[in-house]
Amino acid sequence: MEKEFVTLSQGSGGSEMQELISRFAFSKAAQNAGWKNCDSDSATLDIGDGRSIVFTTDSFIVDPIFFPGGDIGHIAMCGTINDLSVMGARPLGISLGIVIEEGFSISELDRIISSIDKVSKSTGIPVVTGDTKVMQKGKLDKILINTSGVGIIDNDILLARKISVGDKIIISGGLGEHAVALLSKRFDYTTDILSDSKPVIEEMDAIRDKVKIAKDPTRGGIASILNELCEKHGVGMLLYEEKIPAKQEVRKVVEMLGINLYELACEGRIICIVSPKDAQSVEEILKKFNKDASIIGEITEGSKVIIETFLGKRILSMPAGTIVPRIC
Amino acid sequence: MEKEFVTLSQGSGGSEMQELISRFAFSKAAQNAGWKNCDSDSATLDIGDGRSIVFTTDSFIVDPIFFPGGDIGHIAMCGTINDLSVMGARPLGISLGIVIEEGFSISELDRIISSIDKVSKSTGIPVVTGDTKVMQKGKLDKILINTSGVGIIDNDILLARKISVGDKIIISGGLGEHAVALLSKRFDYTTDILSDSKPVIEEMDAIRDKVKIAKDPTRGGIASILNELCEKHGVGMLLYEEKIPAKQEVRKVVEMLGINLYELACEGRIICIVSPKDAQSVEEILKKFNKDASIIGEITEGSKVIIETFLGKRILSMPAGTIVPRIC
């Protein structure tokens, strides 16, 4: 039976969200107009001369807006830069749509703007167009940011390649750090963990030639992204649980809160699919950026994501229900 | 003295908003990266081969979300399509960032999506990438939409030309229709006026060769856009009041509510600057789309926008204060 009202779980990056956005039957018109990869981190359009435009968007409703290791401005810049980067593209420009609640503190706004500016300076990727709106007090919880991004890429660099059984799955660092840092403010516990929010441009530059597909495991975490890849490419996956990196303190907090590590949004991680011959080398390169980078699994026959644990095998399902609201 | 909190008037498209966004000192980085027209409806970047990317963003917080002649989805598509169109560009793709309040009606969401789809079908411009978030009940007033848009344009078509004293100012239809339609729902009066919300692609296609600069007079209305043009180009303007088109019913409502017709957002109008030799012809072409299209003034020496009325001349200032909140 038809749900009549939008639920929180429909915004969580899991199966209910997929059901919700399946109502937006826009992809056929996009395909007819020549756009590809509309279900990827960024959509692409061949503009001739062997080049494609790369285009993406993301809205950020993170709560709290300031957290250890970042803030809503930082995450809004990194998220969109990363959605372009994982396609293999060099981002050219970012748009910034800010909606602010009347009465929001100007000094907090200045901190957010300064944070956006810092990411822009450190990456060399400018904010080129923007829009600012204000809503009456009580009509919006503090501030909301949309960033969209555009880039251009040579078609032969575009990371949208065919994956095969035996390919390796590599993650560029530990899971759960963004969630734990953010939830520490919400639940008022003390932690040394900082959000992993960061641009992944340098990592992508270093591994781009050796990677078939790269993904930005944000909402729904690796559980969501890996299940999506399996469905799209008609493959299965085997993950080695003891190889999946997460800091001890992250594991403790995740256990304490009873949430699933694999479903938590990362904001500065790449998960990539690499042919077996390149896997070792990609892992080594990524370890230079973050020592927790690791080969965590491989592509198999089948259609499910299976985790191999000390106690046997279990299925890692597409997330369902409300994972953790307003984490990104 | 520094304002400490964000005010509604800072979101109204007038002088306070300019002061607020002047805090976002992003334009220098954008210029250094080669972007131009960052203060226009769309930013542009030369990508070689005589072509430029055109890129824009807009967030829509319109209240009520359904109004005579349109809804938030319709206006979100038209607004961004028009921001690209007035640069002379053919829009290639639109991004759709939707943030929904938990508990929002699915049937209303379907109406909004269907409205977006209709604009997409009628213009042939697809939604190519999107993001959907849900906020807890009470944290957002119903729904908020961000659309960004990307296009490509031949550099010699790009409408960012020099304007000169004697050039004519032409508006493509009557003012105030969007505001009056929308406010009729908010203040519960009866009107036959429909929002002017529409894509201006066909009009732009028809006049593009004859136009120096075209603008989309949304937030702050023609008062805002004409003052901006004067400041940017170091010119003045003379408007002929009796030539400025507005339906009789619009004038009545505007007078009743005590708001300034010239400060009201249009969502389907073009205001353009045309050399004197082309003015008559552009006016005639635009009249085929809307009989109220009219030459309403000319570029002069000086720095102010002056309106010539039956009673003498007066200055049309940059809007200040809260114009009408959440009209776009």
Asked whether residue A242 falls in the same domain as residue A180, the answer is yes
> Which residue in B has a C-alpha nearest to residue A39's C-alpha?
B129
Asked whether residue A177 falls in the same domain as residue A117, the answer is no
pLDDT, average across residues B255-274: 95
Q: Are strands B312-315 and B294-300 parallel, antiparallel or unpaired?
A: unpaired
The DSSP secondary-structure symbol of A77 reads H
- B 124-163 residues inside an 8 A Cβ radius of A: 124-136, 139-141, 144, 146, 148, 150, 152
The answer as to whether B55 is a domain residue is yes
Task: Give how many domains chain A has, as a whole number.
Answer: 2
Q: Are strands A294-300 and A312-315 parallel, antiparallel or unpaired?
A: unpaired
pLDDT, average across residues B172-179: 96
Domain boundary residue, one of A95, A127, A157: A157
Asked whether residue A181 falls in the same domain as residue A255, the answer is yes
Number of other CB atoms surrounding residue B69 within 10 Å: 18
Taking CB atoms and an 8 Å cut-off, how many pairs form between chains A and B? Answer: 264
- Using a CB-CB distance cutoff of 8 angstroms, which residues of chain B are in contact with residue A132? 10-11, 17, 20-21, 24
Query: Which residue from A5, A32, A95 is facing B57, i.e. has the nearest CB?
Result: A95
> Which residue in B has a C-alpha nearest to residue A56's C-alpha?
B129
Instruction: Indicate whether B273 pLDDT > 90.
Output: yes
Structure tokens at A244: 């999946």
> Which residue in A has a C-alpha nearest to residue B137's C-alpha?
A8
Q: Where do we find the tokens 């009873």?
A: A258
Query: Which residue from A25, A45, A103 is facing B5, i.e. has the nearest CB?
Result: A103
> Which residue in B has a C-alpha nearest to residue A10's C-alpha?
B134
Instruction: Indicate whether A224 pLDDT > 80.
Output: yes
Whether residues B45 and A125 touch (CB distance < 8 A) is answered with no
B166 in contact with chain A, both atoms CB, cutoff 8 A: no
The order of strands in the sheet holding B213-215 is B213-215, B271-274, B168-171, B294-300, B236-240, B305-309, B312-315
Asked whether residue A212 falls in the same domain as residue A269, the answer is yes
Whether residues A131 and B57 touch (CB distance < 8 A) is answered with yes
Residue-wise pLDDT tens digits, B223-239: 999 999 999 999 999 99
Asked whether residue A107 falls in the same domain as residue A150, the answer is yes
Cβ neighbours of residue B14 closer than 8 Å, sequence gap 6 or more = B220, B224, B263, B318, B319, B320, B321, B323
Asked whether residue B53 falls in the same domain as residue B100, the answer is yes
Asked whether residue B227 falls in the same domain as residue B104, the answer is no
Instruction: Indicate whether A211 pLDDT > 80.
Output: yes
**What confidence score (pLDDT) does residue A326 get?**
87
Whether residues B26 and A132 touch (CB distance < 8 A) is answered with no
pLDDT, average across residues B246-251: 96
Contact between residue B195 and residue B264 where contact means Cβ atoms under 8 Å apart: no
How many Cα neighbours within 13 Å face the side chain of A287? 10
- Whole-angstrom distance between the N-terminal and C-terminal Cα of chain A? 30
A84: domain CATH number is 3.30.1330.10
pLDDT band at B2 (very low <50, low <70, confident <90, very high): low
Whether residues B113 and A24 touch (CB distance < 8 A) is answered with yes
A38 in contact with chain B, both atoms CB, cutoff 8 A: yes
Residue-wise pLDDT tens digits, A112-134: 999 999 999 999 999 999 999 99
The answer as to whether B16 is a domain residue is no
User: Quick one: B36 exposed, middle or buried, by C-beta within 10 A (0-12, 13-18, 19+)?
Assistant: middle
Alpha carbon distance A252, A94 (integer Å): 37
Q: Nearest CA of chain A to the CA of B139: how many Å?
A: 5
Asked whether residue A224 falls in the same domain as residue A298, the answer is yes
Instruction: Indicate whether B27 pLDDT > 90.
Output: no
- Using a CB-CB distance cutoff of 8 angstroms, which residues of chain A are in contact with residue B96? 24, 26, 57
Alpha carbon distance B308, B242 (integer Å): 8
Asked whether residue B230 falls in the same domain as residue B308, the answer is yes
Tell me which residue of A10, A38, A297 sits closest to B99, measured CA to CA: A10
Alpha carbon distance A120, B160 (integer Å): 26
Residue-wise pLDDT tens digits, A86-102: 999 999 999 999 999 99
Q: How many residues does chain B have?
A: 328
Domain boundary residue, one of A157, A191, A217: A157
The DSSP secondary-structure symbol of A132 reads E
pLDDT, average across residues B292-312: 97
Whether residues A128 and B55 touch (CB distance < 8 A) is answered with yes
pLDDT, average across residues A268-274: 98
Instruction: Indicate whether A232 pLDDT > 70.
Output: yes
More reliable by pLDDT, A12 or A96: A96
pLDDT, average across residues A253-260: 92
The answer as to whether B140 is a domain residue is yes
The answer as to whether A34 is a domain residue is no
**What confidence score (pLDDT) does residue B134 get?**
95
Q: 3-state SS string over chain B? A: CCCCECCHHHHCCCHHHHHHHCCCCCHHHHHHCCEECCCCCCEEEECCCCEEEEEEEEEECCCCCEECCEEHHHHHHHHHHHHHHCCCCEEEEEEEEEEEECCCEHHHHHHHHHHHHHHHHHHCCCEEEEEEEEECCCCECCEEEEEEEEEEEECCCCCCCCCCCCCEEEECCCCCHHHHHHHHHHCCCCCCCCCCCCCCHHHHHHHHHHCCEEECCCCCHHHHHHHHHHHHHCCEEEEEHHHCCCCHHHHHHHHHHCCCHHHCCCCCCCEEEECHHHHHHHHHHHHHHCCCCEEEEEEECCCCEEEEECCEEEECCCCCCCCCCCCC
Least confident of A94-103, A316-325, B28-37, B86-95: A316-325
Alpha carbon distance B165, B183 (integer Å): 37
**What confidence score (pLDDT) does residue B3 get?**
59
Interface mutation vs chain B, best among A26, A128, A140, most B CBs within 10 Å = A128
Domain boundary residue, one of A114, A129, A157: A157
- Using a CB-CB distance cutoff of 8 angstroms, which residues of chain A are in contact with residue B25? 117
Structure tokens at A278: 């390149």
**What confidence score (pLDDT) does residue B1 get?**
45
Interface mutation vs chain A, best among B57, B75, B87, B128, most A CBs within 10 Å = B128
User: Quick one: B242 exposed, middle or buried, by C-beta within 10 A (0-12, 13-18, 19+)?
Assistant: exposed
B33 in contact with chain A, both atoms CB, cutoff 8 A: yes
The answer as to whether B133 is a domain residue is yes
Which residues, listed in sequence order, are joined to residue B151 by a DSSP beta bridge? B54, B91
The answer as to whether B267 is a domain residue is yes
The answer as to whether B51 is a domain residue is yes
**What confidence score (pLDDT) does residue A11 get?**
85
The order of strands in the sheet holding A35-36 is A35-36, A43-46, A51-60, A143-154, A90-101, A127-135
- Structural domain span for residue A221: 168-315
Q: How far is CA A6 from CA B66, B117, B204, B243, in A?
A: 18, 20, 38, 48
Residue-wise pLDDT tens digits, B127-161: 999 999 999 999 999 999 999 999 999 999 999 89
- Using a CB-CB distance cutoff of 8 angstroms, which residues of chain A are in contact with residue B321? none
Instruction: Indicate whether A2 pLDDT > 70.
Output: no
pLDDT band at B22 (very low <50, low <70, confident <90, very high): confident
Tell me which residue of A235, A148, A204, A214 sits closest to B55, measured CA to CA: A148
The answer as to whether B30 is a domain residue is no
pLDDT, average across residues A294-299: 98
Interface mutation vs chain A, best among B2, B4, B6, most A CBs within 10 Å = B6
**What confidence score (pLDDT) does residue B17 get?**
85
Contact between residue B262 and residue B223 where contact means Cβ atoms under 8 Å apart: yes
CA quadruple B211, B212, B217, B218: dihedral sign:
positive
User: Quick one: B3 exposed, middle or buried, by C-beta within 10 A (0-12, 13-18, 19+)?
Assistant: exposed
Residue-wise pLDDT tens digits, B97-111: 999 999 999 999 999
pLDDT band at A1 (very low <50, low <70, confident <90, very high): very low
Asked whether residue A69 falls in the same domain as residue A186, the answer is no
pLDDT, average across residues A216-241: 96
Query: Which residue from B25, B33, B117 is facing A26, i.e. has the nearest CB?
Result: B117
DSSP-derived 3-state class of residue A198: coil
Asked whether residue B179 falls in the same domain as residue B306, the answer is yes
pLDDT band at B12 (very low <50, low <70, confident <90, very high): confident
A278: domain CATH number is 3.90.650.10
- B 74-93 residues inside an 8 A Cβ radius of A: 92-93
A323 in contact with chain B, both atoms CB, cutoff 8 A: no
- Using a CB-CB distance cutoff of 8 angstroms, which residues of chain B are in contact with residue A30? 93, 126-128
Asked whether residue B185 falls in the same domain as residue B289, the answer is yes
% of chain A at pLDDT higher than 70: 99
Instruction: Indicate whether B197 pLDDT > 90.
Output: yes
ipTM for this model:
0.95
Query: Which residue from B92, B127, B133 is facing A61, i.e. has the nearest CB?
Result: B133
Apex B101 CA angle, B100 and B103, nearest 5: 115
